[in-house]
Structure 1
């Protein structure tokens, strides 16, 4: 390699480090003192080239990095949030108390912990989890969250996806699960509907226009969305969730392509003892009437059908309330998720898992949170459900039997 080329390489980097300048001048001075007219001139030049290469390599490993990372403040997180904030402040900002947050941190730590490198110290796991939770709980931009926690904008994006994937890997199956079937059936029975194992519905999550097949993501309200379909129990906790489908797809089509539909069709989703009537789930008119899925009567209604619809509606409110709590807790779901469409399902799944964590730990839900997202709900109104006609005979008989039972109870 020619010495002049090496000189130019070092000169281009010298402005970034005093060390590079000192090394270059020292080696150049030593080589010139040996003389170019001696019989060993060629060997001297080779030695000179070797020294320059060594100096160049050493410099790259220890050069000052002021131009790579800007100094930021972490005092707000280290000394105010962790040391000063009480449970109410944690609840309002992270949607959970500090004890719940620390339990979440302990569960995710083995997956999220990173080692320090020669270039920088790794972010503590507590801070990684806090950045992700803050981003999910607020409509703040990546830059705003980065400034809040004293990290780079790209760091927030990376940490968010790492945390969401860790939540899904570790907590999703543990938290989004069926639980005790008899408790669920008893809970819905107390609300007025017997042999009910859950309520199902879909919610549209606003997203940015995807680069491919964007017309498929435009829903009936005219904005880009991705559908979350969920089955919830009598307490409003998610039992089964499915997401990733474009907003243009009908809810009935999504449902027929889910694991839940196949399990319900096979009669293996609910496992209880023998019962005179099958355990059913409740849906709105957009869902197909099945022997195990009840939906409201439509068209001309008599008093008994209206009574049936009222009881079904009362129990279906659990899924509507669950969606309301989900959006109010994790407000990022209403800010057009600024992610590739392939990454969005991981964020939605994580929010559902965190919702169940908060519900399971008895975290308070403030009604004021609902008003915070009302203006967002107006901007991204949910598309109306479209009724499906043509009920199956067996399913219609079961629905009529329930209607007659409700009518008999009313006359007693």
Structure 2
């Protein structure tokens, strides 16, 4: 404020000095008469007053604006500090809650080891008992809408799943022969709740009144039963001519891609934290989608396994052996579309966008390819929003995670084909951009297959340009 006052005093002094000089010149002039001098002096005094008023008001407004800005900055700073304190408090609370759950888990595992040699009746008494009986008391009382939002399937579909999986689940030793026995309905409810809620396994075990190790085994039994009973829902790459033609025609209708495309490849990375290790490793998932955004094939790798050869990059493979399509009298191999920046090798059956398009037909091909690649993110978002366990680090082993993810894709395909409800709010917190996979090591695209792939891609690009509406 003192600087503003000093600046305002200097400007007022300058105005007064200018006025005095003008009055002195007017007084010393001899050409004008007295009346004319008086009128000029009056105008000068009015202008002087206007300048003084403008200077004072302007500085006052500027000082008020500075004060308001300073107040807003202080208020925003205070709110940020409050939000950080609140966030730190929530994180600390979550860490304490997690530590408490881990301690309870360790106590329960130690108790199980102590009584391992006792009789079955003693084992039943040593199983930790929790106050909540989620399956027995909560789930049966849920309304239809609450049931759907809890397990992400309708009650009717849940009962159908139980009937289909019951013959396999009843024969599983882990469920039927250990005490207390787990019914097929409880096993299905536990697995669906784990997939849909994304809660930690220790909390799932507490809800269903089971030790954590047996909860994991229950999940494995469920997934194996799904794969053996419903595994056809994860259909392999189209191999029959009718299926190939249907998929290729579906892509053609949706994107104007010539009818030889039989799948779109997608890649994502899912954090995995095996055995409670604080250092996260990454599970790399490659998946193939058909024209209805159903998952046809999965390839999973983690740690040393993540260096697996990319899908369909080497021959022979199921893709290169498919029958060719005839497009404008030319034989074109069935192909899938790979993401551009994952360094997939360029093959006649494994194409990708132009890295640096120049010609108009190259831009047309890229536009169609980008539209198709968007379906990859859409399908992944739909899968992760239905099964929330995929959107956070998994504290299970790679083998268990692979089993569960594959079964989750099978169930997703089955529910999609049944037109099972899929609520938009399930995906509000899912951001698939967080699961971008690191690119593979650069591949050599200068062999005979890559040159043949360039010719096939140019032909397809020119076909798209010639048929564009």
Post-superposition CA distance 1:169-202 (Å, at most 9, x none): 2222343334622221111011121221110121
Aligned equivalents of 2:305 and 2:319: distance in 1? 25
Pick one of 78, 100, 121 that aligns with 2:157. Answer: 100
Report the Cα offset of residue 297 of structure 1.
0.4
Deviation for aligned residue 1:67: 4.7
Relative to the length of structure 1, the TM-score reads 0.71
Give 1:181's aligned residue: 244
Counterpart contact for 2:312–2:319, Cα < 8 Å: no
| Equivalent pair of 2:274/2:396 in contact (CA under 8 Å) | no
**In the alignment, what sits opposite 1:193?**
257
Match of residue 289 from structure 1 = 346
Query: What is the number of equivalent residue pairs in this alignment?
Result: 337
Query: How big is the shift at 1:349?
Result: 0.8
| SS of aligned partner of 1:359 | helix
Residue by residue over 1:366-393, the C-alpha shift from the partner in whole angstroms, topping out at 9 and shown as x without a partner, is 222222223x864x55436787563612
Quote the residue 1:124 is aligned against: 183
SS at match of 1:255: coil
User: What is the CA deviation profile of residues 239-281 of structure 1, one whole-angstrom value per residue up to 9, with x for unaligned ones?
Assistant: 1111134388468x3325789x71123x23x688998322221
1:409–1:128: structure 2 CA closer, same or farther, 3 Å change rule?
A: same
- CA spacing shift, 1:314–1:383, aligned 2, 3 Å: same
For 1:239 and 1:346, the matched residues in 2 are separated by: 16
1:254 alignment counterpart: 310
Shift of 1:121: 4.0
Task: Specify the alignment match of 2:380 in structure 1.
Answer: 323
Structure 2 unpaired stretches of 5+: 1-117
* Change in 2 beyond 3 A, CA 1:177/1:255: closer
- Structure 1 residue 75, shift from structure 2 partner: 5.2
SS in 2 for 1:254: coil
Aligned positions of 1:157-306 closer than 5 A: 157-178=216-237, 180-191=243-254, 192-194=256-258, 195-208=260-273, 224-246=281-303, 249=306, 253-256=309-312, 262-265=317-320, 267-268=321-322, 276-285=331-340, 286-306=343-363
How much does 1:140 deviate?
A: 0.7
In structure 1, what is the equivalent of residue 199 of structure 2?
140
Q: In 2 relative to 1, CA 64–284 (structure 1 residues): closer, same or farther, beyond 3 Å?
A: closer
Contact conserved, 1:108 with 1:167, CA < 8 A, in 2? yes
Distance in 1 between the 2:121 and 2:276 partners? 40
Is the alpha carbon distance of 1:224 and 1:70 closer, same or farther for their aligned partners in structure 2, counting shifts above 3 Å?
closer
Partner residue, 2:146: 89
The within-5 A match list for 1:337-348 is 337-348=394-405
C-alpha root-mean-square deviation of aligned residues, in Å?
Answer: 3.4
258 and 325 in structure 1: CA distance in 2 versus 1, 3 angstrom threshold:
farther
Q: Distance in 2 between matches of 1:175 and 1:161?
A: 18
Partner Cα distance (2:347, 2:178) in 1: 60
Q: Which of the pair has the greater relative contact order for Cα pairs under 8 Å at 6+ separation?
A: 1
Structure with a larger share of its residues in helix: 2
Structure 2 vs 1, CA of residues 249 and 107 (structure 1 numbering), >3 Å: closer, same or farther? Answer: same
Q: Deviations over 1:313-353 (max 9, x none)?
A: 21222222211111112121222221122322111111111
Q: 2: distance between equivalents of 1:277 and 1:256?
A: 17
State the TM-score, normalized to the length of structure 2. Answer: 0.63
Q: 1:330 to 1:84 in 2, by over 3 A?
A: closer
| Residues 284 and 385 in structure 1, CA contact (< 8 A), matched pair in contact too | no
Structure 1: unaligned runs, 5 residues or longer? 1-59
Larger radius of gyration: 2
Q: Give the whole-Å Cα distance in 2 for the aligned partners of 1:301 and 1:93.
A: 51
Matched, 1:308 2:371: no
Cα deviation code 1:71-96 (max 9, x no counterpart) = 4457542344235431x223222121
